[in-house]
Amino acid sequence: MRTALRWVWLIGLFLMACAPRPAARTRLVVAVQPTFAVSEMLEQARLLEQDLEQRLGPDVDVEIYVPLSQAGVVEALRFGQAHVAFMGSFAGLLAVERAGAQVVLAEVREVFHGAQKTEATYYYSYWVVPQDSPYQSLAELKGKRACFPSPISTSGYIGPMARLIERGLLPEPAEGQEVDPKAFFGQVLFAGGYGQCWEALKAGQVDVTVIAGDVPEKLYHEVLDHTRILEEQGPLPSHVVVVSPDLSEPLRTRVVEALMGLSAPEHRALMRRFISGLFVGFQKTDAQTHLGALRAYLQRTHIAFSERVEVGKGGGK
């Protein structure tokens, strides 16, 4: 009896040793730009993780990573702590230049090109003055008062500063120095957003401001209905998806195709939490195609990337 049991035990051990072991899962870390409270983002991230794992198959373990800043996303890509990242255009360019990341997708968003509403990966911004303003050109605004939404806004500051340099109204800054709008305007206000700048213009606190084709529709129409456009700049790039150079084939292609699947209308509400409130889909692209104009603006203005961490506030540019 003991001999028989011993043989059963040995056969069981043999069968266990011969049984195929489940393959180790590949860990894929997706970093997302912080657009609202991290705890809330991580809760929403479970839905995104589940969707991507379903698309990529059982051999991939997706993990969403939410750094406290976009600079943190760049560092995560640089040091191998993230393989994929959703980023703003400025930070995305920084990831390309400092972390060797590759742009693979551009956000398609609902924007205005002039008076036309469209879906595109780019948009424009416009210098505007009140309809009764005496100023007919940017050149006439020398020494006047201007409002900008943010000193790192691509459409609200970087592009407009590059336009002033292109028009010969501002000198291109020396190496190691940034463009200085006060070399042209008498007073410069950074109000924190396009809506705030519009309120300043309405109140007569400034003489000119900028509005972009990717602001909320109500604000865009309100501004254009009560102002005159003096100048425009663009095309300005939408948000991007970048991948680490460590993400090799064939997983790289599988990831890109899985993310393209999130362009389906049923995923729009979720993706607007992680990309922007204007998201409608993705389009394949590369850094030169999508970020070339932004790179040229930065080369003219020498504006460096910086940011203040404002956890808990909604996303924008």
Mean pLDDT of 95-111: 96
Mean pLDDT of 162-175: 95
Least confident of 20-34, 78-92, 119-133, 196-210: 20-34
For the segment 9-67, what is each residue's pLDDT rounded down to a tens digit?
445 544 554 545 445 789 999 998 766 666 777 777 888 899 999 999 999 999 988 88
270-301 b/e (C-beta count within 10 Å ≥ 16 → b): bbbbbbbebbbbbbebebeebbebbeebbebb
For the segment 273-306, what is each residue's pLDDT rounded down to a tens digit?
889 999 999 999 999 999 999 999 999 999 987 7
DSSP-assigned letter for residue 75: H
Instruction: Say if residue 1's pLDDT is above 60.
Output: no
Tokens at 35, concatenated:
């657009």
pLDDT at 32: 86
Instruction: Say if residue 6's pLDDT is above 80.
Output: no
CA 298 from centroid of its chain's CA atoms: 16
For the segment 196-230, what is each residue's pLDDT rounded down to a tens digit?
999 999 999 999 999 999 999 999 999 999 999 99
Residues in contact with 115: Cβ distance below 8 Å, sequence separation at least 6, in sequence order: 224
Question: In the predicted model, what is the mean pLDDT of the chain?
Answer: 88
Strands (E), 66-195: 84-87, 102-113, 116-120, 122-130, 145-148, 187-190
Least confident of 139-143, 212-216, 267-271, 306-310: 306-310
